[in-house]
Structures are given as structure tokens and as C-alpha cells.
């Protein structure tokens, strides 16, 4: 089985977000970057499938040079080789990213293309289904359960108040949600080996998308919040506030 | 200017409330631009469309066949994109639900259109401007739509359905010519007892590790019930197996924007806040007065939840009884 996993470099969720001088992006100084947590589920799924069926796992990232580190993290988990589509700018335009990734993945004769369900920086929730559409492949998004047998598979995705069961044929695009598996940590040996694994760098150009950034801002702090009291005796004051002040009950 | 196409969502033959919210968002654009809102229904025959005119649909386009009873990604994307290409549409609006989040990028890719997902506000005067939370809700993008058509999904519970009455006459459209699907939704597994989903509820009561064990979550369920809301959970208690993942609120769970969010025994970790910070009113009950959740909360009670919550349930039951 030949599997590609698309991975993105994103700020760690614990990091404080400061807006850069241009007012349109984040100030990256002091920010720790990680492999997008949802992409870890995708890498893990690929590695498990390779363990069962044999084959190759290729990791693909689109981003600046710094994304090499992200690719290496996936290689350290056990992927075989990496490709960095190197751009001078990071783009938050999902269709632009999908086009560049689709162009790279198209000729690879992959059985599966795996993505995270969303990148925790832009929250677009989009690139996987977009790549599938551009390449005219079947796609199941946000999967928390997967079975592959031969040239077809069954996946389950959580929806509001239920779980959708979707059958699909390979080759296919899948995007992974929490619950699919427990991603492994790269072992020391894996980290050492990752340094020697092939990582091909290809230059690409990110085009501006159809959405123009007016500004990136930090949401106003919620103000006016108050402690209505301590212990159960504060309950009537809370109910009073919810009914007559906030008017939500 | 081209019209607005709102893609509706139904489940078991019933329209979802988020469809009316998407109509309201579509109405904002159409009213500013002097165009119309057309509502696209893909589903089984017999879905009631009666509310759509009342809530702002100039016209309802219905592709009704039993094959579309469940969400079929390939077919839905093809029908919607065909409708946009054959009609004159500028803006496509969906709800940012499990379906909408899957469908919106497919439609955008088919049309070569930009996608603005999970939008929390929209203004349309001389230009169309949307805002959307990013970086786990720690920052907000304000974006100008500079290319049309453009696909927008709206976060549930953020927009209120509009009362602008329009004709809303129903016109059947064909669901023929839809490509043979290679991904087919075969069924939806539903829990035995139907529960209100956290992502859809207008009141959410979430419990965290402060509840000490799964046996105490009846407190959360009872409080949710008396408020007419849905129970939610922090990741700590989902990972511990006390509650199902479907209830998890936060970065790796669901994003919710209810009118009232009650956090019980939840510290307020950044990843939890990512899922609920756009709630309209937030209440926190926690024994630690320095818990980060109190920074976000509109109203807080400091103390032992095992004393406070039973009292709260009892008082609310009294009010409900009257
Ligand atoms: C990549 C990543 C993704 C994550 N995604 C999510 C996510 O989606 N959702 C999420 O929730 N978390 C998420 N987390 C985890 C998050 O960081 C926290 O660990 C988690 O939210 C803590 O849950 P909690 O508030 O229930 O528990 P704790 O942090 O342990 O808080 C328990 C609280 O209960 C209070 N308490 C204890 N006893 C009582 C009592 N008797 N009465 C009143 N109060 C009491 C305590 O004072 C404390 O504030 C994620 C973490 C990472 C690294
Ligand atoms: N720049 C990128 N490089 C590689 N993969 C990406 C990139 N952007 C998005 N993806 C993939 O698409 C998924 C969804 O991202 P998004 O649509 O941006 O929320 C991510 O989890 C990645 O698997």
C-alpha cells in the first residue's frame, strides 16, 4: 500500500498568540511549533496500515523551510520519506494549498491520501476534501474508525447526535479525527533514523486567494464578569442574574 | 449581483435549525446587494419547507429523492455546484456542521471558489466582510471577499433566524446526472435514547474532572435537563472514559456557541476555551477561585460543586414548576 500523509506545521496550542506588526499575521517570535495534532492521527493510521499491508508512507508538507522539522517529526514516527513543497510565504488560503498539494500527489499512484480533519492554526477544515475533489477521488472526512479490506474500506465519522457509516473504494482521501488511534511518540532510534531518511525539497509559489486579510486581532477580553458569591447560598443570586440581567433562562 | 444560495440541512425529514441561521446570514448579503436568497434542499421527499419563506427564502429549490435521505457527499456537492454554475449565484452559505464542514470545501473546490469557514459575523455594505476565529479562538481574522462566487459556512447558534417573510415558493430541481458515488453513506448509527447534541444546543452544561467520577455525572445531566440543554464534557473526563467523545467540548472536540454555557468543575484550559469562548453567557462553578475559567466567565460561584449544583437544580425545578 502506498500512502501519502499531508502534515502541517502549526503553533502549539499552549503558545500565547501575539499579533505581528503588520496586523495581519502572528508574531512567531518565541512561539513553539509542532506537527498539527490531527495530522498525528493521520501519520499513525498510515503507519498501522503499512505494518499490516506493507508498502510505503510518504509525508508531504507545504510551507517555509521551517516545515522540514515537521516532516522530520513524522519521519521519526516511522514514515519512509518526505517531500517539502517549499514556499516563501505561509498561506491561509485553503484552496491554494489544496491545489499545490493535489499537483504533488496526483502522479504518485497512492492508494490512500491522509490528512488531519483540520489544522489548528487556520481552522479551515478544508484541505482534505478539496484535494479529493480536485483529484476526483472519493473522500470521507473526520473519521474516528477505519477498516480497509482489499480495494475498499468502511469509515465512521461522528455527526451531531450520531455516527455516519461510509463505504468507499480505493484510492481514496481520508481526514482523521481524534479517537481513530493513539499516535505513537517518536523513539530515540526513530529520531536518529529520521535524520538519514530522504527529504526532497521542491519550490512552489503560493498565489493570493480570494479572501483578503483586513486584520488579525485578539478577541476583546470578556469584561464585566463577576463572582456572584461563594457556596450554595450564592445560587439564588446566580439564577436572578441569569433570568433578569443576562435573560438567558 | 448574483443571488445567494443557502444549502439547507435536514435529518430524518426535519430541517435543522442551523439552516434557518444560514438563511439569515444569506439574507444580510442579499438585502445589501439587492439580490435574492434561494434555499437548496437536498433530501428525501416530504421535508416540510413551510418555514423557509417565513424566514427569508425568496425561493426554495428542492432536489427530493429517497437516495438523498442521508448525506451523500459526492451527490450533494455535484448538485450544489451544478446549481451555482447554471444559475447566477455569487455567495453560497452553509451551516458549519459535520455535513457543512465536509460539503463546503467540496463545493468550493468544484467552483474554484474561496472558502470562508466557521464564520461568526458577516457585514455586507459596499463590500462583503466576514470574521472567523482562528488559532484555537485566540485570534480572529477579519476577511474581505474579493472573488466570487465565494462559499461561506456559519458557526451554529451565532446567527439568529430572521423574520423577513418572502414568497419561498418551492421549485423541484433534478438530482439526475449525479456521478456514481465511490463513497456512500450507508447508515447513521444513533444512540438508543435520542440526545440533544452539544454542538446544536442553545444551552450547554459541561462537567470536568471536578466531578470526581462518572457516577456523579447525573448532576450534569439533571442540570442540563432542567435548563433544556445538552450535557458536555472536558477532555480530561472523556479521556478517562467517564463520558463519550461526542460530548467533548474544545479543540479536539466540538466547538459550541450556545446562549448559555455552564462549566462545572472545569479549570478552563486553553484547549477547552477554544471550543466554547464564543458562547454568549458563561457561568463557572469551581472551588478554586483562581481557576482560569473565571477570567472568561460572566458569572461565577466559588465553592464545592457537590453542594452548589444540587441546590441549583432544586431552585430551577421550583421555578419550572410554577
Ligand atoms: C493537543 C491538546 C488538545 C486538547 N483538547 C482539549 C479539548 O478539546 N477539550 C478539553 O476540555 N481539553 C482539551 N485538552 C486538555 C486540556 O489541556 C485540559 O487538560 C483539560 O481541559 C482539563 O480538564 P478539566 O478542566 O476537566 O480538568 P482539570 O484541569 O483537572 O480541572 C478540574 C477543575 O475542577 C475543580 N474542582 C475539583 N473539585 C471540585 C469540586 N468539588 N467543586 C468544584 N470544583 C472542583 C478544580 O478546581 C479544577 O479547576 C487538550 C490538550 C492538548 C494538549
Ligand atoms: N500547508 C500544508 N501542508 C501540508 N498539509 C496541509 C497544509 N495545510 C493543510 N494541510 C492538511 O490539511 C488538513 C486540514 O487543514 P485545514 O484545511 O487547513 O484545516 C491538515 O490537517 C493537513 O493534513
**Tell me: the pLDDT tens digits for B192-233?**
777 789 999 999 999 999 999 999 999 999 999 999 999 999
Q: Which among A128, A44, A117 is positioned nearest to A79, based on CA atoms?
A: A44
Q: What is the pLDDT of residue B276?
A: 96
- pLDDT, one tens digit for every residue, chain A (249 residues): 999 999 999 999 888 899 999 999 999 999 999 999 999 999 999 999 999 999 999 999 999 999 999 999 999 999 999 999 999 877 678 999 999 999 999 999 999 999 999 999 999 999 999 999 999 999 999 999 999 999 999 999 999 999 999 999 999 999 999 999 999 999 999 999 999 999 999 999 998 899 999 999 998 888 879 999 999 999 999 999 999 999 999
| Integer Cα distance of A182 and B2 in angstroms | 47
A122 secondary structure, DSSP code: T
Q: Which of residues 83-102 of A touch B (CB under 8 A)?
A: 92-95, 98
What pLDDT was estimated at residue B284? Answer: 98
> Across-strand partners of A172?
A112
Q: Is A212 on the interface with B (CB under 8 A)?
A: yes
> What is the C-alpha to C-alpha distance for residues B48 and B52, in angstroms, rounded to an integer?
9
Per-residue pLDDT, B11: 94
Ligand 1 pocket, mutate which of B214, B223, B269 (most atoms under 8 A from CB) = B269
Please answer yes or no on whether A26 and B113 come within 8 Å at the CB atom: no
Q: Tens of pLDDT along B275-304?
A: 999 999 999 999 999 999 999 999 999 999
Note the pLDDT of residue A187. 92
B185 closest CB neighbour out of A139, A164, A222: A164
Specify the pLDDT at position B177: 64
User: What does pLDDT average to in each consecutive run of 10 residues of chain B (322 residues)?
Assistant: 95 95 98 97 95 97 95 96 95 98 98 97 95 93 97 95 95 80 92 85 97 98 97 97 95 94 97 94 98 97 98 96 76
Please give the torsion angle defined by the CA atoms of residues B187, B190, B194 and B199, in that order, rounded to the nearest 10 degrees.
-90
pLDDT at B179: 64
What ipTM score was computed for the predicted complex, to two decimals? 0.94
Taking the CA of A46 as reference, the closest ligand is 2
- The cell for B278 is 464564543
**Identity of the residue in B73, B142, B200 whose CB atom sits nearest the CB atom of A160:** B200
Q: Spell out a b/e string for A41-58, using b for 16 or more CB atoms within 10 Å of the CB, else e.
A: bbbbbbbebbeeeebebb
Question: What letter does residue A243 receive in the DSSP assignment?
Answer: I
Whole-number pLDDT of residue A188? 93
Amino acid at each position: 500500500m502506498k500512502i501519502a500523509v499531508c502534515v502541517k506545521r502549526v503553533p502549539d496550542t499552549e503558545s500565547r498568540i501575539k499579533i505581528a506588526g503588520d496586523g495581519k499575521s502572528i508574531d512567531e517570535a518565541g512561539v513553539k511549533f509542532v506537527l498539527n495534532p490531527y495530522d498525528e492521527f493521520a501519520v499513525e493510521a498510515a503507519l498501522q496500515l503499512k505494518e499490516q499491508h506493507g508498502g510505503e508512507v510518504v509525508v508531504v508538507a507545504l510551507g517555509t523551510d521551517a516545515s522540514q522539522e515537521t516532516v522530520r517529526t513524522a519521519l521519526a514516527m516511522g514514515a519512509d520519506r518526505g517531500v517539502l513543497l517549499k514556499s516563501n510565504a505561509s498561506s491561509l488560503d485553503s484552496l491554494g494549498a489544496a491545489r499545490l498539494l493535489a499537483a504533488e500527489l496526483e502522479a504518485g499512484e497512492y492508494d490512500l491520501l491522509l490528512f488531519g480533519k483540520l489544522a489548528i492554526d487556520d481552522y479551515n477544515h478544508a484541505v482534505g476534501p478539496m484535494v479529493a475533489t480536485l483529484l476526483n477521488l472519493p473522500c470521507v472526512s473526520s473519521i474516528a474508525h477505519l477498516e480497509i479490506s482489499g480495494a475498499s474500506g468502511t469509515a465512521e465519522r461522528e455527526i451531531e447526535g450520531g455516527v455516519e457509516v461510509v463505504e468507499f473504494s480505493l484510492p481514496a482521501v481520508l481526514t482523521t479525527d481524534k479517537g481513530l488511534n493513539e499516535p505513537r511518540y517518536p523513539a530515540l532510534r526513530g529520531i536518529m533514523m529520521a535524520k538519514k531518511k530522504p527529504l526532497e525539497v521542491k519550490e512552489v509559489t503560493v498565489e493570493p486567494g480570494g479572501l483578503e486579510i483586513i486584520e488579525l486581532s485578539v478577541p476583546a477580553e470578556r469584561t464585566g464578569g463577576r463572582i456572584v458569591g461563594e457556596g450554595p447560598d450564592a445560587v439564588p443570586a446566580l439564577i436572578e442574574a441569569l433570568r433578569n440581567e443576562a435573560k438567558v433562562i | 449581483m448574483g443571488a445567494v444560495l443557502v444549502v439547507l440541512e435536514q435529518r430524518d425529514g426535519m430541517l435543522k435549525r442551523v439552516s434557518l441561521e444560514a438563511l439569515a446570514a444569506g439574507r444580510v448579503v442579499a438585502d445589501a446587494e439587492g439580490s435574492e436568497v434561494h434555499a437548496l434542499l437536498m433530501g428525501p421527499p416530504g421535508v416540510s419547507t413551510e418555514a423557509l419563506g417565513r424566514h427569508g427564502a425568496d425561493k426554495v429549490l428542492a432536489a427530493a429523492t429517497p437516495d438523498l435521505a442521508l448525506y451523500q457527499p459526492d451527490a450533494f456537492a455535484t448538485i450544489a455546484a451544478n446549481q451555482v454554475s447554471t444559475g447566477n449565484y455569487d455567495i453560497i452559505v452553509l451551516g458549519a456542521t459535520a455535513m457543512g464542514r465536509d460539503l463546503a470545501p467540496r463545493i468550493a473546490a468544484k467552483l474554484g471558489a474561496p472558502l470562508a469557514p466557521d464564520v461568526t459575523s458577516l457585514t455586507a455594505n459596499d463590500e462583503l466582510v466576514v470574521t472567523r476565529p482562528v488559532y484555537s479562538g485566540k485570534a480572529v481574522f477579519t476577511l474581505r471577499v474579493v472573488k466570487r462566487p465565494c462559499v461561506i459556512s456559519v458557526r451554529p447558534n451565532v446567527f439568529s433566524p430572521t423574520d423577513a417573510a418572502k414568497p419561498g415558493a418551492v421549485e423541484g430541481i433534478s438530482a439526475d446526472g449525479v456521478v456514481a458515488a465511490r463513497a456512500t453513506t450507508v447508515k447513521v448509527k444513533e444512540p438508543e435514547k435520542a440526545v440533544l447534541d452539544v454542538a446544536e444546543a442553545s444551552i450547554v452544561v459541561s462537567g470536568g474532572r471536578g466531578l470526581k467520577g462518572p457516577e456523579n455525572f447525573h448532576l450534569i445531566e439533571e442540570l442540563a435537563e432542567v435548563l433544556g440543554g445538552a450535557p458536555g464534557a472536558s477532555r480530561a473526563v472523556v479521556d478517562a472514559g467517564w463520558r463519550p467523545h461526542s460530548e467533548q467540548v474544545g479543540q479536539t472536540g466540538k466547538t459550541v456557541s450556545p446562549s448559555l454555557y455552564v462549566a462545572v468543575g472545569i479549570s478552563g484550559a486553553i484547549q477547552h476555551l477554544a471550543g466554547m469562548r464564543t458562547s454568549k453567557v458563561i457561568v463557572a462553578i469551581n472551588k478554586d477561585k483562581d481557576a482560569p475559567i473565571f477570567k472568561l466567565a460572566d458569572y461565577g460561584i466559588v465553592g464545592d460543586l457537590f453542594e452548589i449544583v444540587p441546590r441549583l437544580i432544586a431552585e430551577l425545578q421550583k421555578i419550572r414548576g410554577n
